[in-house]
Structure 1
C-alpha cells in the first residue's frame, strides 16, 4: 500500500548496529516506533543489533491506517526478521500489545528464531470484535494507558473502525496457531491493563508449547509498560533472558 501522508517526527524506523545477536522490536496498534525506542536503546547498550520497523499505516495519518490490512503488518515484521538475518546469527523478537501479537505470529512461522519477548500481548480484545464496533468511519482513540505521570505516547487521535477489524483478524489467526510456538518465551503482563485484558497473557503462557517459558508480572505499569514505571525491569529481564540463551547456545 502506498501511504499518502508523511511519517511523523519520532515515528521513523530505527536501526542500531551491534554484535551478531539481533533483536526485532515491534510497536503496537495505532502507535509508532517512539514507544519501543527506549527498549531498543537498552538492547543496543547491551551490545545487540536492534531494528524497530514502522508498521504500515502507522506513524502517518489515520487514513493510511484505514487502507491497511493485517497481512501487511505481518509482511513488515517478516521483512524485518529477514533484514536482521543478513548480519545476525541469533535473532530475538520483542513486541508490545499488537506488536506482541505479531511476535507470536512470527514465532509460529519462523521457529529458527532464538526466543520471544511479549509485553501485554493481544490475542483477544472484546472491543475489537466486529460485532461490537460502531457503524461509523472513525472513533476517538483512548488516551495512552500509562500509569507514570508526564509520560506520553505518540498515537493517533482517531482510529479507523476498519482497522479494528484487521486487528481482530490478526488476533484470530495468531490465536489459532499458538500451540505451534516452541521457542523460549518471556511473557510480561501488567496487573492492571485498561486496553488488553491480562488474561490474554495467561492464555498465551498456557497454550504455547515452549518448554522454556516464564510469565513476569508488572505491578507498577498499565498497558504501555515500555514507557511506564516497569520499563527498566522489562529491559533488565529481557537482556538477561537473551544473554542466558546466547551463552547456552554458544
Structure 2
C-alpha cells in the first residue's frame, strides 16, 4: 500500500470548498458534475435552505476544486463511494435525505438512489448520454492521449479564483478522467431499471453536453409514472445557473414539498 498521490502543494480553490446550510430535519444533498465544484450548485442550495427551510449539503468530489493532476489520481469508484459515505453520515442525523445532481452528479445521484432507495431525487441534465462521442472512445484513447487542449471562455467579471479554476480544469481535458465518467455512464445505464425513486428531470434544448437521448434512455428503462420531465428552452448545460434558474428553483422546491 502506498500513500495517496497528493502533491504537498495541493490547495483547494475557493469555488471548491464544500457548502453546508443548516435547516430542518430534511437534508438535501447536491452533487456537482465532472470537473465541477460546489460553487456550481451554491445558488440553488442557498435558496433551498432559505425558501424551503431544508438542510443542504454540497460536498466536494475528490480531485475536484484543486487541480487536474489531483483529479487524475481519483476516479469513478472514489467519487461514488465518497457520496455514498456522506449519505450514510447524514442519514444518521437527519430524518429524511433527498438528493439532486448536475450532469455527472446526476449519475451519482441515480446510483445512490438505487442503492439506498432515496424517495426523491432531482436530476439537472443527467449525463446518461453525451453529445461528444469522445466520452465513449475515452477508455481506448486514454492509452494514447493524455490531455486535449480545450477552449476556455473567460469573462470580465471572472475573479482570480475563477480564472485559476478555469486554467486548471477547462484549459485541458484529461482523457483519463473522461474514461472515468464513461464508467459511471455505463454503470448507471446498467442499473436504471432498479430505480424506485420519484424523480424530477431537467434538460435544456440548448444543452451542448448532454444529449436528448438521455431522456429517452430514462424513459425506456425506468417506471414512467415515477419521473417528471421539464424541458427548458434557453438554458445551457448548467441549468441551475442559467437564464431559467428561477423556473428550476421553483419546480425543484415544489417537487420536494410534495407528499
* 1:160 corresponds to 2:169: no
- 1:24–1:217 CA distance, 2 compared to 1 (3 A): same
Partner of 1:32: 37
Q: Alpha carbon RMSD of aligned pairs, Å?
A: 2.2
Q: Aligned partners of 1:189 and 1:151: how far apart in 2?
A: 26
Q: Whose Rg is larger? A: 2
Partner of 1:197: 211
1:30 Cα shift? Answer: 0.7
Partner of 2:148: 139
- 1:204–1:120 CA distance, 2 compared to 1 (3 A): same
Q: Pick from 169, 175, 178 the counterpart of residue 192 of structure 2.
A: 178
- 1:87–1:186 CA distance, 2 compared to 1 (3 A): same
Q: Aligned partners of 1:174 and 1:80: how far apart in 2?
A: 19
Partner of 2:6: 3
1:209 Cα shift? Answer: 2.5
1:199 Cα shift? Answer: 1.8
Partner of 2:245: 231
1:210 Cα shift? Answer: 5.9
Structure 2: runs of 5 or more not aligned = none
Equivalences, count: 241
* 1:118 corresponds to 2:123: yes
In proportion to residue count, which structure has more helix?
2
Q: Pick from 125, 137, 141 the counterpart of residue 130 of structure 1.
A: 137
Q: Aligned partners of 1:73 and 1:141: how far apart in 2?
A: 24
Partner of 1:241: 255
Q: Aligned partners of 2:42 and 2:219: how far apart in 1?
A: 26
- 1:133–1:201 CA distance, 2 compared to 1 (3 A): farther
1:93 Cα shift? Answer: 0.6
